[in-house]
Amino acid sequence: MAQANQDGDRKNAGKGLALPGLVVGLLAGAVMYGIVEYWIDDADDKPLALVVLFFTVTAAASYLLLAETGRLIIAAGVALLIAAIFALPDFYLFNIAADETKNLTNFPVVFWFLSRSLVVYLCIALVKSVLEAGAPPPYREVFFHGLTIPLIAGGAKVFAGLALVLLFAWARLLKEMDVNFFNKLFQEPWFILPFLGAIGGLSIAMMRGQQAVLGALRFILLLFSRIVMPITALFTITLLIILVTKGTGVIFDRPYPSVWMIVLALTGMLIFNGVYQNGEGGPPPAWLRVSTTVTLAGFPVYSGLAFYAIMLRIGAYGLTPPRIAGVAITGLVAAYSLVCLAGLLTELNWRAKRWMPLVAPLNTAMAVLWVGVLTTLATPLANPWAISAHSQYKLIASERVAAEDFDFGYLHFELGRYGDAALEKMLGLRDHPEAAAISAGVARAQVAKTRWDYDYPELAGDAESKDLPTSAPNGPLGLELNPELAEPDVDDPETETTEPDAGNP
């Protein structure tokens, strides 16, 4: 009975939300215009202005996705709470990014704002499931909203994009008739931002009301997962045979092996969940069931190779902010191997009425884990600069890297005060076999005014006399001063070219 009532409520989802969606979107757009036009240019308050901007967008989007007829006030309170939670890491990282004198690499900031949308999406899906079914939410609710929310957001973007195209096409047509007023009006930020907000809010509300369309899109995605599952299984078998016959060198001898393994693992995870669906059905046909089992068996191999590759890199060169993010993602992917193994164990009872019953609750737990880990990485609780500086210090203190091969400049110019503290601590390594070389390296990093000065001290004076850019990674006219630095080491199981190797300059 409860399930039937819930299905009936879903058929009415989105009804009566057009006007609230329009109003909320319009207000959010107006607030965005006010922040951009009157606040964000103030250098002193720029981090706070950006936080309020992101808070507004997050709160508006959360409200439009959580609101239901008769539950508008509760949805507003929850949406504000979600936006407030994520405003804390936003404020922390925006303040760091705004102060260029701190010499801190911006990678953690970039990583957070790349992963932020995923975290907010998972959070909304989990919260909406709790609002509709209570805590802890049944997996059928988490799966339904986890699959539906991206479709709503994608459809709303299409509607908003089409409205914008029609708006400018209309303005262009009137301009051809010598009516320039609307063409100029549509270029004004005070008009276009509230307009886009209103269209976006209305589009989300309208898309939520298209249950037949959403149902068709869900069916297509789930059908696609079933179609490609045998292909995924065949690929898994082929890769496993290659690994057995040729060894892991076929993977580790190529750039970014952990990235490729993570991509394969995540792809397999998404396809598996498309086949598994809400976890309440019985086993699928034998051909699909066998294909899924084979794919799950390959998942621990992918995640294990990815984790092994990145740990080899860290063991050789220590932690840096990008590697900390890599460890987090690889660890989350590896943790999903437990879900796969739980599913495989339940397959020992081939005649069970429910298919892989342990996977459903573990999937919900994994969603919570992703939200927790990615959010924690954006807070002082997991300060990547401090962790990296300590790791680099241990690298030189434990004699795992020779002083002549260690990049002291990375600590000073990328890890800020945490790196400077590590450099000062290195001066205390008087009993170290290379104490003199370490002191010289620390002094060189501390004296250098720019990264260029540290990397090419013999050219620093010449660069100043010729007014060359002191922060350029290459020489004059873009010519590489040291071609060896530009060549990726294909023998390294985790080649990275986007950052200087601390411990391997």
Q: What is the pLDDT of residues 198-253, one digit of tens each?
A: 999 998 988 888 889 999 999 999 999 999 999 999 999 998 999 888 888 878 87
Question: How far apart, in Å, are the Cα atoms of 455 and each of 391, 436, 470, 472, 497?
Answer: 22, 20, 10, 11, 16
Between 217 and 258, the more confident residue is: 217
DSSP line for 233-293:
HHHHHHHHHHHHHH-THHHHTSS-HHHHHHHHHHHHHHHHHHHHTTS-S----HHHHHHHH
**For the chain, what percent of residues have pLDDT higher than 70?**
87
- Retrieve residue 460's tokens: 């620093």
On the question of a cis peptide bond just before residue 136, with omega within 30 degrees of 0, the verdict is: yes
Predicted pLDDT at 1: 46
- pLDDT, the chain, mean: 84
Cα 107 to chain centroid distance, Å, stands at: 12
Report pLDDT digits (tens) over 283-296: 999 999 999 999 99
CA–CA dist 324, 321 (Å, integer)? 5
pTM over 0.75: yes
